[in-house]
Amino acid sequence: MEPTNLNKEGVSAKVSGGTTAAQDAAAKQEELNQPYVDKRSVIIAPVQVFSAYRNANKASIGPRKTVIGSSINSSRVLSSNKGEVEAYFPELIGLSPSNPDFTTRVKAYLNNISFNVVEQGSTLNISFYYNKKKDYLNIKAEEDKINARREAVPRNNVAAIKEAVRIWVKDMNDLEGKKYQYGRPEQIEDYLMYRHCLLYHDVAKDTALINSDASLRFYIRDEGKEAERAKKLLEERKKAMRNFLALEASDKKTDAVYLQMIVSTGGNVGEAIVKTKDQKTAALMAYLNESPDKFNDLYDDKNVEMKAFIEALIARGELVRPEFNQQISTADGTFIGSNINEAVAYFNNPNNAALLEVMKNKFKLL
């Protein structure tokens, strides 16, 4: 019997597996309304900087203990979220929010935080029970967006990483501050300590910053996220290798991807144009290994060849882009676009085909 869906009258009809579309939808909705546990843990570890004496006497001295104490900033931020405070702290301090001493005791708790971090790192259970799975999925979607913005920052720019982490901490704290509405942590003390560490200056939220700031004594290691990131990177590398091999079929696209790589990394397009094929291939391979996701973005850009053509025309003086502006025009002042994307749209417009042909013919003679 052929599977069917709802008919024109809206009557449920059978689909694959012997159920109806309405039954499938109801089952999906029921699943979304069921409780869900997001199992997670993080490790807070000390930055391993030891003196020569300590290294020589490590066995007799024993493992080093370091302490994360209270923080004015963390205390202020964590105590400012009234809903969250009233949801979590009664269990910690043994007082209800209606008790006149509640606020004072909450602040006393936060102002007397003391967390001993062992040398190999101390694990915090930050698992969270959601009353409904759909709430977890919504929070996870927001978290993915926050993480994506941070991960888009070049890994070789420490200043940019530092700013991205600052924004990430604020966004993550704001997001975590909403979760009490949808459930509760498995271990409240561990969870609040994690929140404290997010706001604590001495804890690095990115290992790239450790060597640039001597005040960082600890760092957060999220092994689950690291494993997820490593898996994603592997998939990007596999895709990048396939795309790299596909470039062999088109010298034109190879040149286009190469030039756009030069543009994105701040290189000199004029110098790049005259590089040999082997030099271009070697540079693309190095870029692929360092940033496979960015390489894939360039390869997948349907306008990469037009963009590269425009950049080459700018480098050769046929098009003009001021040093401190993105506007593009011809040498005689004809306005092309406010930026590279508008310039692409201009030359892709059939009404401007004549000028595009002129530019192509000029470029062949350069």
Express each pLDDT in 133-168 by its tens digit: 999 999 999 999 999 999 888 877 899 999 999 999
Q: Average pLDDT for residues 23-30, to the nearest whole number? A: 88
Helices 82-93, 188-199: axis angle to 10 degrees equals 130
Q: Is the pLDDT of residue 330 over 70?
A: yes
Q: Which pLDDT does position 213 carry in this prediction?
A: 86
Look at residue 11 in the predicted model and tell me its pLDDT.
Answer: 46
* Number of neighbouring beta carbons within 10 Å of residue 51: 8
The residue-averaged pLDDT of 47-67 equals 67
Q: According to the model, what pLDDT value does residue 156 have?
A: 77
Query: Is 66 in contact with 46 (CB distance < 8 Å)?
Result: yes
pLDDT (tens digit per residue) in 248-303: 999 999 999 999 999 999 999 999 999 999 999 999 999 999 889 999 999 999 99
Token pair of 320, please?
Answer: 């003009």
Question: What does the alpha-carbon distance between residue 34 and residue 133 come to, in Å, rounded to a whole number?
Answer: 6
pLDDT tens column, 197-232: 999 999 999 988 988 888 899 999 888 877 887 888
Q: What are phi and psi of 218, to 5 degrees?
A: -140, 170
Give the mean pLDDT of the chain: 89
The arithmetic mean of pLDDT across residues 62-72, rounded, is 83
How many Å is the maximal CA-CA distance in the chain? Answer: 84
How many residues would you count in the chain? 366
Residue-wise pLDDT tens digits, 36-48: 999 999 999 999 8
